[in-house]
Amino acid sequence: MANETQQQLLRQGMAMLLRQGYHNLGVAAVLEATQIPKGSFYYHFASKEDFGLQVIDLYMKEVHGGLDQCLGDESLPPLQRVRRFFESTEEKYRTEGYLGCLLGGLGQELSGVSESFRRKVEQCFSEIARRIAACLREAIQRGDLPKETDPEKMAEVLVNCWEGAALRTRLRQDPAPLREMLDFYFRLAST
């Protein structure tokens, strides 16, 4: 379990990475914002890259919490559970000023220059899609989706569409692209 200082640095780093990206994030700025000495940073993190990768881990804990809560709510049909996950994610984006998805932002910024970040972000997207696919499999078993539906491909397309809409939402500072994408996707899924 990470200690309080490490968690404080990671939380501040997550907020700052969402606002300004990796290349514009200075370790000194994180330390200044948290009032934590430089030595403490390097006690917990081998480098700025290590710090960024651990921020992704923290972010994914939150994502998994949202997936657990929404996909695990068996009082709702599977497709509604999946949609609810994305709606709750959109709500989180709203409270953060529509800064979008940390994974998407870092993936766009770093995938061409850092193999470590490219692999990490892709693994995270794949894990999100895997968990959604499991819920879509349940929808197929219930007859909510056609038997010939490929749940893995459907989940991948959903994550891909969401990330594109998240980028457009960030550019516009408006939730419309996310909401329109969800309406379009789930209207097609239920036909």
Question: What pLDDT, on a 0 to 100 scale, did the predictor assign at position 83?
Answer: 97
Tell me: the pLDDT tens digits for 99-138? 889 999 999 999 999 999 999 999 999 999 999 999 999 9
Is pLDDT at 35 greater than 90 in this prediction?
yes
Q: What is the pTM of this model?
A: 0.93
The residue to which tokens 């404080």 are assigned: 8
Tell me: the pLDDT tens digits for 105-116? 999 999 999 999
Name the percent of the chain lying above pLDDT 90: 92
Residue 58: closest CA among 100, 104, 22, 8: 8
Question: What pLDDT, on a 0 to 100 scale, did the predictor assign at position 42?
Answer: 93
Question: What pLDDT, on a 0 to 100 scale, did the predictor assign at position 1?
Answer: 41
Q: What is the CATH number of domain 48-189?
A: 1.10.357.10
Per-domain residue ranges for the chain?
48-189
Our CA dihedral for 35, 38, 40, 41, rounded to 10 degrees, sits at 100
Is pLDDT at 191 greater than 90 in this prediction?
no
Residue type present at position 10:
L
Give burial (CB, 10 Å; 0-12/13-18/19+) of 27.
Answer: middle
Average pLDDT over residues 64-78: 97
Half-sphere exposure at residue 106, Cβ-oriented, CA atoms within 13 angstroms: 30
